[in-house]
Chains A and B, each alone.
Chain A
Amino acid sequence: MPDNDTTPAIEFQGVGKRFGDNVVLDGLNFTVAKGDRVTLIGPSGSGKTTILRLLMTLEEANDGLILVDGQPYTHEIRGGKRVAISEKRRSLVRRRVGMVFQQFNLFPNMSVLENIIEAPIHVLGIPKAQAVARAEDLLEKVGLADKRDARCTQLSGGQQQRVAIARALAMEPEILLLDEVTSALDPELVADVLGVLRNIAETTDITMLIVTHEMQFAREVSNRVLMFDGGKIIEEAHPEAIFTSPEHERTQEFLRAVL
């Protein structure tokens, strides 16, 4: 990407999200620059997952705007009013955003390879041969070249998650959302998955928004950490700074509990 492109990859402008009476996000503002690796931390229920789900259009904000690469995503202001954007236009932005889920969510009725080539073929319209070649490269990258034709249900959790990462990358996303991608794994499988993600962080310039309890990983991969509490960002800093000398009292408490 050109150095002079300062349009943020992601921008939240006064985003509010409620579930019934439960106000989860209230007038949330933040931006993520292109190529940034941002980790969201905060106590359970502070809305970290909700932020990622809003970016994936799995939830819909009640107020405010979300911009991706400077473009309104789900809502825009027209004639002074906030109006929903059509599904067709949302779709064009959405395909530039990828997500990896805590529970992998692979398609069990498809083989590993089929999982990876499904969207490139049917969303991006890439010819099958090309999609397969690219999927094989990605499987190599996540260390599962030999599992190409396996059923997903035959794989370990760690292997499934690496397939899910390959599946997300196959869409060549500009933004990758990672929601506690190692939380559902047996401890001995966590390292492989984190290794793959570290490698992606080093070899690509994908913007990453990470929710994790693996503070060591956050420290290695991200260049910014946002601490959430009560639906707001209460502290924001470089990982070295926030992990060694958090300023906010709530951040100190939170880090003492998880580190």
Chain B
Amino acid sequence: MNDFWSWDHAAAVFPDLIKGLGITVLATVVGMIIAAVLGLVVAIVRRSRVRTVTMPVGFLVEFIRSTPLLVQLVFANLMFTQFPSLAVGCVVLGIHYATYMSEVYRAGIDAVPGGQWEAAVALDLPRSRTWRAVILPQAIRNTLPGLGNYAISMFKETPFLAFIYVVEMYAAAQAYGGANFRYIEAITLAGLLFLLVSYPTSLLVRRMENRLA
């Protein structure tokens, strides 16, 4: 028997890993939805000229971006014990990434030519309608690759959820390793499964980037 690699262990841990992968994907999808929506709100709010609004939001964004995701997860999990850890984890991931997404949106919004705003003013379109019908449809097109890249990056950071006892794929691998004193198969397979999901996704994002360029 090969000491380094055992197919028996590999087969035994596989179902746990697939279950964990389900949680990982779920957390990524929910987190990304929160990040996409909240990021957009933040981007629009930060463009407002009312400093009493933009200042606190700006401060909050900087604060979230300059503290580690791991610290935020653990802290939030201690604060909100009444909610399931998975729910807390998704929301924290979402908020954390919303601060990055807001920058992607900001760039997308800035890339819409000023003439579009001016034409909307000349037609007396209300500001809300200008955002909805003119600016965002053009801006969001430019943000799709950014959204995809952050989705991949969030997917790869979900192992942090293990620190708040969410049994996603990495935690499942760790649990098997701890119980059987065999880590190598579990961790290797978990890594391969991450690769199996994120690599095709990144190819898809790259194709999207090329199409938009």
Tell me the minimal C-beta distance from A89 to chain B in angstroms.
12
Question: Interface residue count for B (Cβ, 8 Å)?
Answer: 17
Q: Which residue of B lies closest to A87 (CB)?
A: B127
* A98 engages B125 (CB within 8 Å): no
Q: Which residue of B lies closest to A122 (CB)?
A: B129
Q: Which residue of B lies closest to A96 (CB)?
A: B124
* B122 engages A107 (CB within 8 Å): no
Whether A219 is near chain B, meaning CB under 8 Å from some CB there, is no
Cα–Cα distance between A30 and B184 once the two chains are bound (Å): 84
Provide the B122-137 mask, 1 if CB < 8 A to any CB of A, else 0. Answer: 1111100100011001
Tell me the minimal C-beta distance from B211 to chain A in angstroms.
15
Whether B119 is near chain A, meaning CB under 8 Å from some CB there, is yes
Q: Which residue of A lies closest to B132 (CB)?
A: A122
Q: Which residue of B lies closest to A168 (CB)?
A: B122
* A108 engages B138 (CB within 8 Å): yes
Whether A58 is near chain B, meaning CB under 8 Å from some CB there, is yes
* B134 engages A119 (CB within 8 Å): no
Whether B118 is near chain A, meaning CB under 8 Å from some CB there, is yes
Q: Which residue of B lies closest to A95 (CB)?
A: B124
* A57 engages B123 (CB within 8 Å): no
Cα–Cα distance between A103 and B117 once the two chains are bound (Å): 13
Q: Which of B118, B124, B137, B138 contacts A101 (CB 8 A)?
A: B118
- Majority-rule SS of B interface residues: helix
Q: How many A-B residue pairs have CB under 8 A?
A: 56
Q: Which of B115, B118, B121, B123 contacts A118 (CB 8 A)?
A: B123
Q: Which residue of A lies closest to B138 (CB)?
A: A109
* A58 engages B118 (CB within 8 Å): yes
Cα–Cα distance between A94 and B125 once the two chains are bound (Å): 10
Query: Which of A97, A110, A119 gathers most chain B CB within 10 Å?
Result: A119
Q: Which residue of B lies closest to A124 (CB)?
A: B124
Tell me the minimal C-beta distance from B28 to chain A in angstroms.
29
Add 19 more A-B contacts to A56-B121, A119-B123 (CB < 8 A): A56-B122, A91-B126, A94-B121, A95-B124, A97-B122, A98-B122, A101-B115, A101-B118, A101-B122, A106-B119, A107-B116, A107-B134, A109-B141, A110-B133, A118-B133, A119-B125, A122-B126, A123-B124, A167-B123
6 closest cross-chain pairs (CB), A and B: A119-B123, A105-B119, A105-B115, A95-B124, A99-B122, A109-B137
